[in-house]
Structure 1
Amino acid sequence: MKRILFPTDFSEAATNAFVHALEFAKSINGELVLLHAFELPVYDNHYFPENYMIIYESIELAEFEHFKNELPKLRAIAQKRNLDDIRMTHRLMDGGLMFAVEKAIKEDQIDYVIMGTEGATGWIDALFGTNTTAVISEVDIPVFSVPVNAKFKSIKNIGFTTRFRPKDKKALIKVLKLAKKLEAKVKCLYVKTDSSDVSKETIKEWEHEFANDAVEFNVVFSDEVKESILDFILYKEIHVLTMLTYKRSFFENLFHHSLTKDCAASLDIPILAIPIK
């Protein structure tokens, strides 16, 4: 059974992502590990020489009570969607989010991370949320980034951006396995610019190799990579966009904030970031 880590701060974005996490767990026969991390403040012991433990214990107790009070709300969401049979466990951890996520991934043998992000202009800005970007950049497992405005839709079309490299092929094989469980189709996109060096023969080799899989390959000739991806999402009715993470700057360069805000706002879909070594 696959294990899905769901970090939450009980915000609107996190609550929205919880619905996606529930539905994804159902689709892949998985279970959820709910994680709430909090950081203890640093006090100068010159001013609080005798009250250290009292202060920290009171903060930990307050976080525990908050955590305990919020969990029934999440269970109510699961019950409303008839998904209350999905196994859920809980972790309340002190420390930074990144520390908590990495520790939970290791100790709970996590396969996926699903987390909500907030952004004023849709999923492009949402991708740059400090916490989400850090998690995507650091962890070695796939991360679903769910914008606050991304309402859940059944995943039938998975977008996959590629440059037809061997490492891309390994990632595509993983995505195809996931697509099979979701009963979805993978739609690949290669934006061929004037400086692109991928040959027609390479593309044909990929098409031949994956001829029996639920995948299609789309080649768009354009120097406007960002806009081409947005058009692809819209016209191919993509429900989740898969992107390969080589380094953090890849996202920052690809999705610069100069994109039209109205366009971005109309394309609120989750991002599935897959780390490539």
Structure 2
Amino acid sequence: MSILVATNFSNLSYNAVLYSASLAKELKTKLILFNAFQVPDHASTARLSGTFVEGLIKKNRSRLKEMALDLIKKFDIQVEYKCKYVSLDQEVDRLMKAFNCRFLVIGMSSKSIEQNLLGNPATTLISMKRFPVLAVPIEAKFTGIKNILFACDLLQDIPLKTLAKLRDLAIRLKSEVTVFYVEQKITELKTLTQDEINNELEDVTILYKNVKSNTVIEAIEKEITKSNSDLLVMIPKKYGFWESIIHKSKTRVMASGLNIPLFSIPIE
């Protein structure tokens, strides 16, 4: 098992690389650095020679090698690296399978009107809903993950198989998990649902919180601060064509502007 981390050599992505390196050391697993690049729009209209593209690949591969050697020295972990002239979303599926990766790590952009309207690489990959994605904001530094906030919708069927990934992560990191449910009308958490969660998260310390709020996103943000959470976990729902047009994913919204990492686990 490995961890795949995407980098474009920006400060944001390098912070995600450092975070994933610390996580790889903690989980005792291999780290795979991946750089997917494309030429700028103004240059793509020109006819590019194969030699020019090969030169860019060689340059980026050299930077990845230097980064990998530095991480091996600093964190004492196994590191491999890959570079390809392709868009990230086109290649990431193949790499996740080829290296048997637990999840993909990518930098999380700051909140802005542009990000809310157009999204960013992190929200794009989360929206694909094909593999777990850990989105890391530039402010986040790995100091261990002791408190995990799992924000979920208990009115929908909880994908119990999906919780196995959360259980594995929580046990390996020795984390406490808070199951946090926000709704407009206060109701008691169903005993059956709690039992199912307890069974799926066996050996994990679990707390339950249920609050009333008309603004789900704000309620989650407040709970992150209140509970001193180190990681937010969410499960993006799958929607039909028409629903997807009018629905704004809470997970997608949260993947821009958080100050702690967001771990998105797709439904299986």
TM bucket, shorter chain: 0.7 to 0.9
1:252 correspondence with 2:248 = yes
1:8 correspondence with 2:11 = no
The two structures have a TM-score, normalised by structure 2, of: 0.81
Aligned with residue 134 of structure 1, among 103, 124, 128? 124
Q: Match for 2:224: what amino acid?
A: I
After superposition, the C-alpha distances for 1:61-115 in whole angstroms (9 at most, x for unaligned) are 1331233035324543553xx41x2111111112111111112122222221011
CA positional deviation for 1:184: 0.7
- In the TM superposition, 1:231-270 aligns within 5 A as 231-247=222-238, 252-254=248-250, 267-270=258-261
> Given the superposition, is the C-alpha separation of residues 66 and 191 from structure 1 closer, same or farther in structure 2, using an over 3 Å criterion?
same
Q: Give the distance between the partners of 1:207 and 1:135, measured in 2 at CA.
A: 27
Query: Is contact 1:146-1:269 (8 Å) kept?
Result: yes
CA positional deviation for 1:268: 0.3
Q: Give the distance between the partners of 1:108 and 1:211, measured in 2 at CA.
A: 28
Q: Give the distance between the partners of 1:212 and 1:90, measured in 2 at CA.
A: 35
Deviates more, 1:245-254 or 1:94-103: 245-254
Structure 1 residue runs of 5 or longer lacking an equivalent are: none
Q: Aligned residue for 2:169? A: 178
Query: Is contact 2:72-2:78 (8 Å) kept?
Result: no
Q: Aligned residue for 1:228? A: 219
1:87 correspondence with 2:83 = no
Q: Any idea what SS the aligned residue of 2:180 has?
A: strand
Q: Aligned residue for 1:57? A: 51
> Given the superposition, is the C-alpha separation of residues 202 and 157 from structure 1 closer, same or farther in structure 2, using an over 3 Å criterion?
same
Q: Give the distance between the partners of 1:140 and 1:256, measured in 2 at CA.
A: 14
Query: Is contact 1:186-1:214 (8 Å) kept?
Result: yes
1:24 correspondence with 2:23 = yes
Q: Give the distance between the partners of 1:150 and 1:201, measured in 2 at CA.
A: 35
- In the TM superposition, 1:54-133 aligns within 5 A as 55-73=49-67, 75-77=69-71, 79=73, 82-83=74-75, 85-120=76-111, 129-133=119-123
After superposition, the C-alpha distances for 1:154-203 in whole angstroms (9 at most, x for unaligned) are 10011101223443433334312210100111111011312x77754445
Q: Give the distance between the partners of 1:134 and 1:120, measured in 2 at CA.
A: 15
The two structures have a TM-score, normalised by structure 1, of: 0.79
Q: Give the distance between the partners of 1:9 and 1:131, measured in 2 at CA.
A: 11
Determine which structure has more spread, i.e. the larger CA radius of gyration.
Answer: 1
Residue correspondences, number: 255
Q: Any idea what SS the aligned residue of 1:111 has?
A: strand
CA positional deviation for 1:139: 4.8
Q: Any idea what SS the aligned residue of 2:36 has?
A: strand
Q: Give the distance between the partners of 2:83 and 2:23, measured in 1 at CA.
A: 23
After superposition, the C-alpha distances for 1:7-31 in whole angstroms (9 at most, x for unaligned) are 1101111100011101111121111
Q: Give the distance between the partners of 2:141 and 2:132, measured in 1 at CA.
A: 20
> Given the superposition, is the C-alpha separation of residues 70 and 7 from structure 1 closer, same or farther in structure 2, using an over 3 Å criterion?
same
After superposition, the C-alpha distances for 1:39-79 in whole angstroms (9 at most, x for unaligned) are 366557xxx6xxx6xx2222221331233035324543553
Identity of aligned residues (%): 25
Q: Aligned residue for 1:272? A: 263
Q: Give the distance between the partners of 2:84 and 2:6, measured in 1 at CA.
A: 11
Q: Any idea what SS the aligned residue of 1:14 has?
A: helix
Q: Any idea what SS the aligned residue of 2:141 has?
A: coil
1:153 correspondence with 2:143 = yes
Q: Give the distance between the partners of 2:167 and 2:117, measured in 1 at CA.
A: 24
Structure 2 residue runs of 5 or longer lacking an equivalent are: none
Q: Give the distance between the partners of 1:207 and 1:86, measured in 2 at CA.
A: 33
